[in-house]
Amino acid sequence: MPRFEAFRALRYAPTIDLEDVVAPPYDVLSDTELDELAARDDHNIVRVDVPRESAGAGRYGAAAATMRSWVDDGALVLDPEPSLTLYRMSFTDEAGQARETVGVIGALEVVDTGSPEVLPHERTTPKASTDRLELTRATDANLSPVWGLSLTAGLSGLLDEPGDTLGSVEFEGVVHRVERVSDPDRVAAISSAVSANPVLIADGHHRYSIARTYRDEIRARVDGDAGGAELTMTYVGELVAEQLSVAAIHRLYHEVDPDALLAHLEQWFTLEPAGPVTPAFATETVIRAALCFVGGDGDGVWLMPRAAMFAGVRDLDGAKLEHALGDFAHEVSYQHGVEETVDAVSSGAADAAVLIRPVSVAEIRRTATEGLLMPPKSTFFTPKLRTGLVIRPL
């Protein structure tokens, strides 16, 4: 089973207001949002995590120099001893229910593709960009964690007791709190629990793949163990419903005639007018056990699967759409959020869209225990972790 270890974390100094320096994940930020975050404080993490000050490969060296300068001026401080970090989030979910989740940030072993210790949960789309690899090479650090799910029952209970409070931030109604655990006995108990069973990658497949590439580069360079690069920073939560908030990632279709697409789907689904599509459709799809086609006028059409047409197809909306559109020429991209999906179609950024339902926690667990893979972009785990609350030097 995978190693999961404490590490000496690099953190912002207590005198710095975390609200001014942490940020959402790099891959959900627009240029405008990056500008706004960078303007908040000269030490905002986006200045390192999404370097833009110089063009080309030189920007990664500039990012590394920036991070070193923050250490030199005391903005970033290295913990005196190895620790784990408890990460709590308090929020209201799409159904209006107050929620609190907890996971632990540590260093998870980087294993080879196909290893049973750390498992992917969905097929991934190719990423040609080497941005994260170049940034890791330059900074020699993990700037943001992979998100993992543990199959160890009772892990959440080991995380209930508070650690040493480090700070909290609030973004869009979500309170993020981090606490340090450095007591050797408690660190050992948590690490052993995570290491007792496989870890399923929930979010960050690309970052984990980059960690593997970087590990192999270091092994080749030193002709042996890669040291800190043998592990990568990972947030691990227990794979149970109360600890997960899973949203859908909807499908946007391009290079298609919307009417022809809907006519094709009618072979596979029973159609019913849905009227104007609103944010309430996020829960309405679940209630109706239906998907929803979205046209350019913002009106929807309910798609009720014809059971006989999907015999032998896994009971996942993404899998059903892949199956139904296997012989229909199209291009697909992905978008979370009902409003954002409707806007993409109404603006002409997509020709049509289909809203799908979130994947259940039971199906996620089945994926892990049976070694299955979901279609790409099947799950959107929320809320997203903030970058900058913990940095792991390698």
pLDDT digits (tens, 9 = 90+) for 101-115: 999 999 999 999 889
Which residue(s) pair with 353 in the sheet?
252, 294
Residue 57 main-chain phi, psi, to 5 deg? -65, -20
The distance in angstroms from the start CA to the end CA of the chain is: 22
Give pLDDT tens digits for 146-199.
Answer: 999 999 999 999 999 999 999 999 998 999 999 999 999 999 999 999 999 999
* Token pair in block for residue 252: 């946007």
Both structure tokens of 129:
């960009």
For the segment 221-260, what is each residue's pLDDT rounded down to a tens digit? 999 999 999 999 999 999 998 898 888 899 999 999 999 9
Contacts of 131 (CB under 8 A, 6+ apart): none
Radius of gyration over alpha carbons of the chain, in Å? Answer: 22
pTM for the full predicted model: 0.88
CA distance 133 to 139: 10
Task: Name the residue among 208, 291, 297 with its Cα closest to residue 249.
Answer: 291
pLDDT of amino acid 381: 85
DSSP letter, residue 130: -
CB atoms inside a 10 Å sphere around CB 38: 17
Q: In a 3-state reduction of DSSP, which class is residue 186?
A: helix
| C-alpha closest to that of 353 among 273, 284, 294, 277 | 294
Tokens matching residue 263: 């006519």
Give the mean pLDDT of the chain: 93
Whether the upstream peptide bond of residue 258 has omega within 30° of 0, thus cis, is no
SS3 call for 335: strand
Residues linked to residue 225 through DSSP beta bridges, in sequence order: none
Which residues does 5 contact at the CB level (< 8 Å), separation at least 6?
82, 106, 107, 191, 231
Residue 373: pLDDT band (50, 70, 90) is: confident
Sorted by sequence, the CB contacts under 8 Å of residue 180 that are 6+ apart come out as 9, 79, 83, 84, 85, 86, 163, 164, 166
Sequence ranges of the domains in the chain: 4-245+381-393, 249-357
pLDDT at 126: 60
Residue 369 has pLDDT above 90, yes or no: no
47 φψ region: left (φ > 0), alpha (ψ -120 to 50), beta (else): alpha
Does residue 175 sit in helix, strand or coil?
Answer: strand
Q: What are phi and psi of 89, to 5 degrees?
A: -130, 130
Share of the chain above pLDDT 90, in %: 79
pLDDT band at 379 (very low <50, low <70, confident <90, very high): confident
Q: For residue range 285-302, list pLDDT tens digits in order.
A: 999 999 999 998 999 999
Identify which of 382, 12, 2, 46 has the alpha carbon closest to the alpha carbon of residue 178: 12
The pLDDT of residue 122 is 75
Q: Identify the band that residue 57 occupies on the pLDDT scale cut at 50, 70 and 90.
A: low
pLDDT higher than 60, residue 56: no
* Per-residue model confidence (pLDDT) at position 320: 96
> Cα(311)–Cα(305) distance, rounded to whole angstroms?
11
Q: Is the pLDDT of residue 376 over 90?
A: no
